[in-house]
Chains A and B, each alone.
Chain A
């Protein structure tokens, strides 16, 4: 398209387009840059001038505070634990269920698939699910953050479709060589599915790190809160929360300062930004674009 016929209107459109997209792209990351630089500023500066991108005096006081505060460190630990174990559980449940369902000859396959699809259309809702978790005595247990979302029906169907499209000859050849069903899954199917599994690992992990809803419902003990819940407590409910946190931690003598709020936001965001390049590599390949239909 290099030799496009250029009109004045076309050039004007291009100029507008580049400026607009540039501004839009900047707007997507500017809040992060502001919060990051604010977290390195002193509170005196934050009260004096509200809008800046480079702090006058560089200070790591907010981070020193965070990393010396038990409640915050503990919640980071909880979030990491739930993310690692939760993602492992997600993968185990998704793969073990998708594999048999990918076999067209399996008796009862359609019944199970219909059960899965129906659960995407209609659900019991928040309260009945909560009561099931409570009856299982999972309130205030980390398993309440892991088990209720162990399988995403949507992801399950995508993985099943992927398994289904692997060459059927593989199965027969492996069986002739004396490979068992489990050996076939472990030694042949899984290695062939590495890109798909990597994608779902990342998406499930990001989901766990970001999850707020499950902890809000199922975790009442503040010492077991994941970072997202504590973050809300510190930033959004600062006045009310200062009381709770004071009681737990002698470090909090007054409501958290603006710079500390910003630093906690940064701590909650950085892990996502670190895995983002890998995420992008995978979704750019379009693994998830393959629609659920068909």
Chain B
């Protein structure tokens, strides 16, 4: 065995290095334990990864994977020349931008406000309540959205009707789609999102605040000079993750709210892949769309990670 690849043993005799076979035999039980998990990753993660080759073939269910003809980049060309491509790109990016502007700061603000609460019981109660929606399924969230906003007896439209005399088709209008999605996200995830910031804030020495008060700092100055700097690195890491995921809008949430009437604002890459692939059976074409999205996603994650390192923050990888 080569010196370089041999493991550094912490045992009493670092000179003794058993052969590959001996090591395999010694750990045979460990390898048996490893087997189910390894098989899982190969079958459900790596076979599909290799299956992206379908994007360059013309897959037909009856000819199978091997016998389908190669068509090169035909599906990509079809996709990029399709006017729907720009609609999907616009919808995906605008939704991500809204998310970044309106949702991203929300947990930070909420955590800072919670950090200012001095009555422990009040703080605990608020925390208990605002974490609940995180565990509720997207179907329930969409169902409650429907029950509240429907024009057929939903409380929001009933109130609207009794004050203004008209109803609004919230669920069937492209204009309302994005605000509803952002409100759902804030309701569901804002509370849960505070946890990571509150954990960082718990580590801040209370003496810092006491010293600041002695120096005459008011509440805003304490927040600005002590609270915010102590969660800055957390914010940067979450921002990197968010940047890397601009093409991820959450399939379930959008799919559940999507209908033919709001489609022009609601259809994104993921829902398009589902409709084209699963319901219409265009497997190769939809694989190409999915592959395009995945590759751009990897570039974005690695790129934003690189940028973060350039700016002196520790990256994720």
Interface residues of A (CB under 8 A from B): 1, 4-5, 7, 9-10, 13-14, 17-18, 20-22, 24-29, 31-32, 34-35, 38, 46-47, 49-51, 92-94, 96-101, 103-107, 112, 115-116, 119, 121-132, 136, 147-148, 150-151, 156, 168, 180-182, 185, 206, 209-213, 216-217, 228-229, 231-232, 235-236, 258, 261-262, 264-265, 268-269, 272-273, 276, 279-280, 283, 286, 289, 293
Cross-chain contact A93 with B256 (CB below 8 angstroms): no
B252 within 8 A of A: yes
Cross-chain contact B146 with A100 (CB below 8 angstroms): no
CA distance A216 to B140 in the complex (A): 15
Find the A residue at minimum CB distance from B199: A289
Q: A107-B24, A268-B137 are in contact. Are A50 and B153 (CB under 8 A)?
A: yes
B229 within 8 A of A: no
Instruction: Name the distance in Å between B310's Cβ and chain A's nearest Cβ.
Output: 18
Cross-chain contact A127 with B286 (CB below 8 angstroms): yes
CA distance A93 to B145 in the complex (A): 36
Contact of B117 among A21, A115, A124, A147 (CB under 8 A): A21
Instruction: Name the distance in Å between A255's Cβ and chain B's nearest Cβ.
Output: 10
Cross-chain contact A28 with B187 (CB below 8 angstroms): yes
Find the B residue at minimum CB distance from A26: B129
CA distance A55 to B278 in the complex (A): 43
Cross-chain contact B118 with A1 (CB below 8 angstroms): yes
Instruction: Name the distance in Å between B116's Cβ and chain A's nearest Cβ.
Output: 6
Find the A residue at minimum CB distance from B150: A258
User: For B9, what are the chain A residues with a Cβ–Cβ distance below 8 Å?
Assistant: 105
Segment of B49-57, B80-88, B93-101 in the binding face: B49-57
Contact of A29 among B45, B132, B159, B286 (CB under 8 A): B132
Cross-chain contact A119 with B46 (CB below 8 angstroms): yes
Interface of A is mostly: helix
Instruction: Name the distance in Å between A137's Cβ and chain B's nearest Cβ.
Output: 13
Cross-chain contact B154 with A276 (CB below 8 angstroms): no
User: For B298, what are the chain A residues with a Cβ–Cβ distance below 8 Å?
Assistant: 121-122
Contact of B49 among A34, A96, A124, A261 (CB under 8 A): A124
Task: List 20 additional A-B contacts (Cβ < 8 Å) besides A126-B286, A151-B37, A272-B135.
Answer: A14-B116, A31-B187, A34-B148, A96-B33, A99-B33, A106-B27, A115-B41, A124-B45, A125-B290, A125-B293, A126-B274, A127-B273, A128-B47, A128-B54, A151-B40, A168-B10, A210-B140, A231-B143, A264-B143, A279-B135
User: For B193, what are the chain A residues with a Cβ–Cβ distance below 8 Å?
Assistant: none
Contact of A17 among B33, B43, B116, B158 (CB under 8 A): B116
CA distance A46 to B153 in the complex (A): 7
Cross-chain contact A5 with B136 (CB below 8 angstroms): no
User: For A98, what are the chain B residues with a Cβ–Cβ distance below 8 Å?
Assistant: 37
Instruction: Name the distance in Å between B157's Cβ and chain A's nearest Cβ.
Output: 8
CA distance A293 to B317 in the complex (A): 8
B306 within 8 A of A: no
Interface of B is mostly: helix
- In the complex, number of A-B residue pairs with CB atoms less than 8 Å apart: 266
Cross-chain contact B30 with A181 (CB below 8 angstroms): yes
CA distance A97 to B159 in the complex (A): 55
Q: A21-B113, A289-B195 are in contact. Are A236 and B256 (CB under 8 A)?
A: yes
Cross-chain contact A105 with B278 (CB below 8 angstroms): no
User: For A129, what are the chain B residues with a Cβ–Cβ distance below 8 Å?
Assistant: 44, 48, 51
User: For B138, what are the chain A residues with a Cβ–Cβ distance below 8 Å?
Assistant: 210, 212
B7 within 8 A of A: yes
B29 within 8 A of A: yes
B13 within 8 A of A: no
User: For A268, what are the chain B residues with a Cβ–Cβ distance below 8 Å?
Assistant: 137, 139-140, 143
CA distance A272 to B169 in the complex (A): 31
Cross-chain contact B30 with A106 (CB below 8 angstroms): yes
B168 within 8 A of A: no
User: For B126, what are the chain A residues with a Cβ–Cβ distance below 8 Å?
Assistant: 21-22, 24-25
Cross-chain contact B196 with A289 (CB below 8 angstroms): yes
Cross-chain contact A51 with B155 (CB below 8 angstroms): yes
Find the A residue at minimum CB distance from B20: A107
